[in-house]
């Protein structure tokens, strides 16, 4: 056996059947599409959610909720996460947005907020967009400094 005499398995390859090629072929005239209606026409494509003219589900259900387009989203970093970074020698004495991006804790366009969960024993100077009051007190109590980015 070699590449020059390989063949597909018997019965696995069929000739392509060409629809709509005359009455004698047994599949002319409407070419298997039936008579009339949208599906028989050329260029037909069913819209997503179309239910045959019945009112679609997404239009039968009521709208609800509210999206505040003025909402400002912050990526939260807790004190226990900062302490863990210090314990693992990922940071020494300063923590800023560039460091968080390098460590994969935030994206470069994210706004960062330092949250107060956990204990912080290390002296760390933290620069962020926002701080909770408890986080600010804990950082200053541990001997670190709090610095706002836009202040």
Under-70 pLDDT residues of the chain: 151
- On whether the CB atoms of residues 136 and 107 are closer than 8 A, the answer is no
The pLDDT assigned to 151 comes to 58
Q: What is the mean pLDDT of the chain?
A: 92
Return the beta strands (E) in 16-144 as ranges.
Answer: 74-78, 94-95, 111-115, 125-128, 130-131
C-alpha–C-alpha distance, residues 129 and 145, integer Å: 14
């Amino acid at each position: 056996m070699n590449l020059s005499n390989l063949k597909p398995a018997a019965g696995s390859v069929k000739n392509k059947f060409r629809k709509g090629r005359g009455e004698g072929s047994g599949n002319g005239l409407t070419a298997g599409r039936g008579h009339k209606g949208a599906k028989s026409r050329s260029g037909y494509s069913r819209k997503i959610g179309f239910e045959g003219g019945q009112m679609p589900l997404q239009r039968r259900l009521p709208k609800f909720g509210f999206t505040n387009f003025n909402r400002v989203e912050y990526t939260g970093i807790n004190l226990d996460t900062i302490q863990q970074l210090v314990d693992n020698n990922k940071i020494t004495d300063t923590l800023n947005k560039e460091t968080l991006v390098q460590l994969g804790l935030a994206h470069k366009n994210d706004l960062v907020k330092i949250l107060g969960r956990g204990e912080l024993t290390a002296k760390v100077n933290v620069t962020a967009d926002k701080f909770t009051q408890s986080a600010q007190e804990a950082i200053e109590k541990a001997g670190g400094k709090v610095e706002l980015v836009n202040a």
